[in-house]
Amino acid sequence: MSRAAVASSPSPRPLGADVVELLGSMRFAISLLVFICVASLIGTVLPQNQSANAYVDQFGPFWFAVFDQFSIWHVYNSVWFLLIMAFLVVSTTLCVLRNAPKMLRDMRSFREYVRGSSLRAFHHRVELSSDLPPERACAEVGALLRAQGFRYRVREDGDSRMVAAKKGAANRLGYIFAHVAIVVICLGGLLDSELPVRLQTWLFDKQPVTGNMLISEVPESGRLSARNPSFRANMLVPDGKQSSVGIVAAGQGVLLQPLPFTLKLNKFHIDYYDTGMPSDFRSDVTVTDLATGESFDRTIQVNEPLHYRGVTVYQSSFDDGGSTLQLKAWPLRGGGAQPVEVAGTVGREGRLPASLGGLVVDYTGLRVINVENMGDGQGPQPTDVVEHVAAVTGSAARPRNDGLRNVGPSVQYRLIGADGQAHEFNQYLLPVMIEDVPMFLLGVRNSASQPYRYLRVPADGQGTMAEFMRLRAALDDAGLRDQAARRFAERNAPAGEQRELMFQAARGALRTFARDGFNGIIDAAPPDQREKILNFAVPMIQLSLTELRDLARAGAGEPALDPQGPDAERDRQWMRQAVLALATLPDYPASVALQLTGFEQVQASVFQVARSPGKTIVYIGCLLLVLGVFSMFYIRERRVWVWIRPQDGGSAWLAAMTTQRRTLDFNHEYERLRDALRRLSGGPDHDV
């Protein structure tokens, strides 16, 4: 290869120039916008920020693990979404920096140096002759263009004149405004996202707190700066308490966000519809400025937040603030029938006495009002707090339901076994009338995604569970079971071998029933004999349990029941429900049942506190976007050139008009200008 060929070969472009070219290209920006649209679609269709169990139930463990890698449960704050937003800001900024100067120069330019002969190549042009000399014609044409809203500039070329005019140059600003708006909106969104908090964890070694500890015990590494430009935190304040710290979720833990003021909850108010849904809730608070010590009172409610010192406090929700509970712990296994008095606090864990297994109890909630649907034959399903809040923030209209009943206060708790397994329980303070029998409802479920299943315990004549629990304990006592079986056989079989056979049958049935309920009897029988055996076993078990009930009453010093007395039918109904409860008791996944007997409610208000300067930036971006779209679609740039040259004591005119988008309106505007030039020239023309 010759030296000349080597010298003339193009040098390779620097890598940085290629990267800048890619980032500033339209195809790259459009690709980013497509990704953002797809992510926004996912965030709209898929409910965000739900519990992990809810997503596992919806997608299964395998797909949950796959989707969790992409953080689609909180897509708008995922790392990849924030990176796409950042790249879009960079790409659009480069595009603006590269093209805006050229557009601004073109806006200021009149293009008066265009050659007169080149105007003949324009589609919209007209040639005219006039008796006016070039100087006079130039002045008249300029006045005409000015009257039609054009700005113009004149270039003299010897005896000829080039009049260059334009209007609608602000159309170019539309492109600039629209692109700048994208940058501004994305910057505002990034500023109000989790990015500022994540940057502090990355750059300033902030460590989210993952364990339970008091706020005063949180180290400095778990606290954000009071000058944090943007945050969104939650604050739970019980009645009569105060707080000046918000809780910011960060990964698997939380960070503390100091506030410039203290918020004290003086009183939390809540009103209800007759359906049991809250119609309104609000908080009377006292705000104390930490810098000046000044304080003032304010009421915060839904859609009426508090704005102070650049921080907005929203009435987000409500919760329990640590209500104290009085309960009875009834044993459900063994021969003991006496309850143990226990106390608990909502939001805290406790431990049952060793005599009841020493189980850990997590008291999760107290509901003072429970209006439940009792008309569908199913057990009540307590409404989640989120649905309570939705009743206030959304529509509270509900179809009429005659099955709604206020079933009184209830307590929710979790029993945690030695193996770490836990079940959720829901128990009502008062018995509920079901099939004309007052019954205590002991609800249980494995997770929040499942409905409650209820153990229905009939209430005795004193409105308690005491008699049922005595019967349950007697059923677990082999000696009392044998006595009940013997009394049943004596009442229902003649003396001799038949009575002994009846006794053995009743004895075995009670033993199996105590261990496994009716399922134990069915499973032990051949399939073709199950119905026959069940038809024989059920009456035998019910009558044997009636004898066992009398034995239990005698042991408690109470008289035997009179089968012919005025309360005989009520006693039989109670017995039928007790048999059903005892049949399902083996499936109850706990050895103890907690019965709420009293409480002292403490309300708490949940506030969302936010400093969001990005909101104002986004508003500015939206304004720029509106201006940009309006400028691009409703402002059209039009340019006119009129070349005037001497001809036979007068002048010859060659006029041309152009625009970026040729529409019917532009054609009409050109025709009006052409006709005006004809009248002004007063001579023949050669219109094309």
Q: What is the pLDDT of residue 328?
A: 93
The band of 375, judged by pLDDT with boundaries at 50, 70 and 90, is: low
Side by side, the strands of the sheet bearing 311-320 are 295-301, 278-289, 253-272, 242-250, 231-238, 603-611, 311-320, 306-308
List CB contacts of 465: < 8 A, sequence separation 6 or more. Answer: 330, 440, 457, 459, 595
Given a cut of 90, is residue 435 above it in pLDDT?
A: no
List CB contacts of 193: < 8 A, sequence separation 6 or more. Answer: 76, 77, 82, 85, 614
Lowest mean pLDDT among 48-57, 64-73, 375-384, 662-671: 375-384
Closest CA to 140 of 159, 158, 154, 119: 154
Tens of pLDDT, residues 347-362: 889 999 888 888 899 9
The band of 472, judged by pLDDT with boundaries at 50, 70 and 90, is: very high
d(CA 137, CA 379): 95
Residue bearing the bigger pLDDT, 681 or 527: 681
Q: What is the pLDDT of residue 12?
A: 62
Given a cut of 70, is residue 609 above it in pLDDT?
A: yes
Stretch 593-616: mean pLDDT: 91
Stretch 258-281: mean pLDDT: 85
633 sits in which H/E element: helix 614-634
Q: What is the pLDDT of residue 6?
A: 46
Which pair of structure tokens corresponds to residue 544?
Answer: 């044997």
Given a cut of 50, is residue 265 above it in pLDDT?
A: yes
Tell me the β-bridge partners of 687.
Answer: 126
Burial (CB count <10 Å: 0-12, 13-18, 19+), residue 552: buried
In Å, what is the CA distance from 379 to each residue of 344, 405, 433?
A: 26, 12, 11
Stretch 541-546: mean pLDDT: 90
Stretch 41-70: mean pLDDT: 81
Tens of pLDDT, residues 319-356: 888 899 999 999 998 888 899 999 999 988 999 988 88
Given a cut of 80, is residue 211 above it in pLDDT?
A: no
Distance of CA 671 to the CA centre of its chain: 59
Stretch 217-243: mean pLDDT: 89
pTM, two decimals, is 0.66
Given a cut of 60, is residue 401 above it in pLDDT?
A: no
Closest CA to 576 of 547, 621, 608, 546: 546
Stretch 615-637: mean pLDDT: 90
Residue bearing the bigger pLDDT, 208 or 13: 208
The band of 219, judged by pLDDT with boundaries at 50, 70 and 90, is: confident
Given a cut of 50, is residue 128 above it in pLDDT?
A: yes
The band of 497, judged by pLDDT with boundaries at 50, 70 and 90, is: confident
Report the mean per-residue pLDDT for the chain.
85
Alpha helices per DSSP H over 72-170: 79-108, 134-147
Tens of pLDDT, residues 550-568: 999 998 888 888 888 788 8
